[in-house]
Amino acid sequence: MKPAIYLITFLSFFVSKDKDIFSSKAIENRMVKVSTDLYANKYETSNAEYREFLDWLKENNEAMMDQARVHTEGWSQVVGLPYAKNYFDQESFDNYPVVNITYEGASAFCAWLTDRYNQSKKKKFQEVRFRLPTKDEWVAMALNGKHQARYYPWGGPYLKNRNGSYLANFFHVGNQDIKLDINDKTKTSIALEPQLDKNGLAKGATVFTAPVNSYVATGAGLYNLSGNAAEMLAEKGNTKGGSWGSSGYYLRIQAEDEFEGFEYSPYVGFRYVMEVIEE
C-alpha cells in the first residue's frame, strides 16, 4: 500500500470553528443527499461521536450504558494488536470508526442523535430521524444512481487506481498466496504464510482501521463505503461493504454478508442516515 493514500488532514473532520460536532450545522455539513428525503453521513460513525453519546448516557441514562457500551473484549479476535486496548478511549483515535458495538448500541445512538437534532433551534429541517440504512438503501448509496452492473462503490471493477494505489482499506491477498487448480479453476485456496508481521497481524493484512475520511470519496461524497469497517444495516445482524479484515471480494456491492448474525466485532461499525420527516 502506498503511503500517499494516508496523506489526509489529521482530524480535519472534527477540528473546525464549530467545536460542537453535534451542532445542527455540523451534523448537516456531514450529510449528503442520496435520494428524496434521505441523507447519509459522509463518514462512518467515529469514536469521538460515539464517546460523546456514552458521556451523555453516563449523565442522563446510566441504565442504558451496558446495552450501548463498547465491547473492547472483541479485540481478542485480533491477536497481538498493540494498541487495540486503547482504541476507543485515546483521543488519537477520535477520527477512526467505532467498532465492537452492538446493533442495540448503534440504534440507541441514532435515537439520541434524532432527539438532539430535533431539539436544536438552529436547524435546516423541522423534523428528521436518524437510523441505520436498509440493505436496499445501502446498495442505492453505493450505486449512486448508476443502474449498470458495478463491482465497487467507486464505480470500477478494480481495487487500485491507475497509479497503483489501493482505493479502500481491506485484507490484501497477492497472487503469490493464491492456489489455483489448473484443471478445475473453480477450485481455489489461499496459502498465506503462518508468521505474523510486527503488528501481530497475519501476512497480507492491512495494519488496522483507517481514519473515517481516508481514501477517495465516491461520486456521492461517501468515504469508506466499502472496506475499513463493515456497516450495520437496519436488518439486525446484517452488514454491507466489507471491512479492514475482509478480502477484496467482500467489498463488492453485491457480495454476500460475511458477518451475518454478528453480535459485535472489531470489523463492524455503522454509518447513520437521516430521513427527513418534515422540511
Closest CA to 45 of 124, 121, 100, 119: 100
Predicted TM-score of the model (pTM): 0.86
pLDDT at position 5? 35
Per-residue pLDDT at 135: 97
For residue 232 the three cell numbers come to 450495520
Alpha helices in 156-226 (DSSP H): none
Predicted pLDDT at 76: 85
Helix, strand, coil percent values for the chain (each to nearest 5): 25, 15, 60
Query: Which residue bears the cell 485484507?
Result: 171
Q: How far apart are CA 188 and CA 203, in angstroms?
A: 18
Write down the pLDDT at residue 238: 98
User: What pLDDT, in 10s, does the model give residues 193-209?
Assistant: 544 455 544 444 456 89
Closest CA to 142 of 213, 224, 225, 235: 225
Q: Which domains does the chain have, with CATH numbers?
A: 23-171+206-278 (3.90.1580.10)
- Per-residue tens of pLDDT for the chain, all 279 residues: 333 333 333 333 444 444 789 999 999 999 999 999 999 999 999 999 999 999 999 999 999 999 999 999 999 878 667 667 789 999 999 999 999 999 999 999 999 999 999 999 999 999 999 999 999 999 999 998 776 667 999 988 899 999 988 999 998 876 666 777 788 778 777 766 544 455 544 444 456 899 999 999 998 999 999 999 999 999 999 999 999 999 999 999 999 999 999 999 999 999 999 999 999
